[in-house]
């Protein structure tokens, strides 16, 4: 995923999925048996419309018929991220990102990569706290083969040795290389366990060291059975296709995918304010650049809160002396800075002020400056000119997504997955046009209340408790 998309999407919070409502199918379109039409439309003016359906087995399908180039993009997203795990079996969500490229019950080892490469396509996957997504780009004429290839692994994945043990070993090696061998990541893992204790966000997506090493095939099979189900998945397809024809092909390939999600009890993504407000979860590692975050817990899951966070960042950046990061760099307060709203699906999404510091800089000075600039930003009137500039920037950003079909499909995917509405970004103009200075100030003071914030950070040696000692002390509490 491109950094520009990640920046935008990191600001998108999550709300409960909207109730699905079937509509009459578009004129002249014949739907497969049991499929229902859930709506169509566009989030970005001038782009092809998206058509949304649900198959008889619960699989949601969104189709973007885009004839601007011969390339097609297929993305399958499951609500099967690490927040579906529990302590003792962490790491399973990420494990399947690896395992899904191996043998199935109907194809030999290496079949997926061999066929994908043979048609001139490329594939990848990604896992987060909230989801796992599998994506492939390929020439449009190869659609039939691509649907067959994807359906085989989602319906018939073969969790057997030696492939299970091989991929488990690959995950163990990845964890050692990317986390255990990186002092910053080691520290972040330790403080995350302390700060988010008792929630599905206390462990990294890759899982704990002990759980990954002790991962059993039985637990892996249970995770696949429980969450790799059609009613827990969304299929997004963009390319030079006829909507009715491609829907029939998707239905032929996936309608016999069976199973139902076995949901876990809902858990909040944060501890109570009394558990964390004013606390420091900070330890030291052998790092050259420190990372610190001010976390502001929030139960506001609305799209509006994500838009206002973007507006706040624009105001912080809109000064004659340059952006907030540039000002902090010039004053030698920080080497990196950002404000965003965390994307945690169906959970609360805290607001975050993030800082990167060198060894000569202090978090106290950087955070004091942030609060000073925050107060100044919240005192500014929300003028028509400010709104115009924000909406223009929003328009330019969406135009960047629109010009590349693969980015456009991903844009719609995120809106749909986190909000249940692929057209949600069309609300941005309405939100900004109706916003008053008083409303913005009330939101900002509540969202970024210093009284409820807590501090997470990894410092250079000697500036705080060593992370190993910090973890021992935290475990005793």
pLDDT tens digits, one per residue of 270-305? 778 778 999 999 999 999 999 999 999 988 888 999
What pLDDT does residue 346 have?
Answer: 62
In the block, residue with structure tokens 């989801």 = 131
Q: If phi over 0 gives left and psi between -120 and 50 gives alpha, with beta otherwise, what is residue 107?
A: beta
CB 238 within 8 Å of CB 49:
no
pLDDT averaged over every residue in the chain: 90
Average pLDDT over residues 172-186: 94
Q: Which residue has the higher pLDDT, 465 or 342?
A: 465
CB 359 within 8 Å of CB 346:
no
Architecture of domain 273-382+435-476: 2-Layer Sandwich (3.30)
What pLDDT does residue 267 have?
Answer: 64
**pLDDT higher than 50, residue 11:** no
Q: How far is CA 129 from CA 220, 343, 463, in A?
A: 17, 9, 30
Taking Cα atoms as reference points, which of 160, 179, 74, 103 lies closest to residue 413?
A: 74
Poorest-confidence range of 18-32, 104-118, 159-173, 324-338? 18-32
Q: For the chain, give every residue range classified as CATH 3.30.830.10.
A: 3-254, 273-382+435-476
Strand runs (DSSP E) across 92-222, as ranges? 122-127, 132-139
The percentage of residues in the chain with a pLDDT greater than 70, rounded to a whole number, is 92
Q: How far is CA 176 from the centre of its chain?
A: 24
What pLDDT does residue 368 have?
Answer: 97
DSSP states along 162-176: THHHHHHHHHHHHHI
CB 166 within 8 Å of CB 269:
no
Taking Cα atoms as reference points, which of 175, 189, 127 lies closest to residue 1?
A: 127
Q: What is the pTM of this model?
A: 0.89
Fold of 3-254: Cytochrome Bc1 Complex; Chain A, domain 1 (3.30.830)
Q: Is 207 helix (H, G, I), strand (E, B) or coil?
A: coil
What pLDDT does residue 67 have?
Answer: 86
């Amino acid at each position: 995923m491109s950094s520009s998309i990640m920046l935008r999407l990191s600001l998108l919070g999550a709300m409960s999925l909207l109730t699905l409502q079937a509509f009459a199918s578009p004129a002249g379109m014949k739907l497969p048996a049991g499929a229902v039409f859930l709506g169509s439309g566009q989030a970005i003016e001038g782009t092809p419309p998206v058509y949304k359906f649900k198959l008889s087995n619960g699989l949601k399908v969104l189709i973007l018929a885009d004839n601007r180039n011969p390339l097609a993009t297929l993305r399958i997203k499951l609500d099967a991220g690490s927040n579906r795990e529990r302590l003792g079996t962490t790491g399973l969500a990420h494990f399947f990102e690896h395992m899904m490229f191996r043998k199935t019950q109907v194809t030999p080892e290496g079949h997926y990569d061999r066929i994908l490469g043979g048609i001139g396509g490329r594939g990848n996957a990604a896992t987060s706290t909230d989801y796992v997504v599998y994506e492939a780009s390929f020439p449009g004429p190869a659609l039939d083969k691509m649907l067959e290839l994807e359906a085989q692994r989602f319906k018939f994945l073969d969790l057997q040795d030696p492939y299970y043990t091989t991929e488990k070993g690959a995950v163990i090696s990845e964890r050692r290389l990317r986390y255990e061998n990186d002092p910053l990541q080691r520290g972040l893992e330790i403080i995350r366990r302390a700060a988010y204790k008792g929630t599905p966000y206390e462990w990294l997506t890759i899982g704990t060291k002990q759980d990954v090493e002790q991962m059993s095939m039985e637990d892996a099979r249970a995770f696949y059975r429980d969450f790799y189900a059609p009613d827990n998945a969304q299929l997004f397809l963009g390319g030079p296709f006829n909507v009715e024809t491609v829907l029939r092909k998707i239905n032929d390939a996936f309608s016999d995918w069976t199973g139902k999600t076995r949901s876990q009890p809902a858990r909040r993504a944060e501890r109570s304010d009394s558990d964390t407000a004013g606390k420091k979860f900070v330890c030291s590692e052998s790092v050259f650049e420190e990372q610190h975050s001010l976390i502001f817990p929030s139960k506001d899951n609305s799209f509006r809160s994500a838009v206002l966070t973007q507006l706040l960042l624009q105001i912080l950046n809109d000064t004659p002396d340059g952006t907030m990061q540039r000002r902090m760099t010039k004053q030698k307060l920080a080497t990196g800075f950002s404000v965003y709203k965390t994307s945690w699906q169906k959970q609360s999404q805290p607001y975050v002020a993030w800082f990167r510091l060198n060894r000569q800089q202090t978090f106290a000075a950087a955070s004091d400056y942030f609060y000073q600039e925050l107060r100044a930003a919240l005192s500014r009137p929300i003028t028509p000119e400010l709104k115009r500039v924000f909406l223009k920037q929003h328009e330019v950003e969406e135009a960047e997504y629109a010009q590349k079909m693969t980015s456009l499909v991903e844009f719609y995917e995120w809106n749909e997955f986190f909000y249940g509405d692929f057209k949600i970004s069309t609300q941005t103009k309405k939100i900004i046009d109706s916003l008053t200075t008083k409303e913005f100030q009330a939101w900002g003071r509540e969202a970024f209340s210093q009284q409820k914030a807590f501090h997470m950070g990894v410092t250079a040696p000697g500036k705080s408790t060593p992370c190993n000692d910090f973890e021992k002390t935290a475990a005793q509490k």
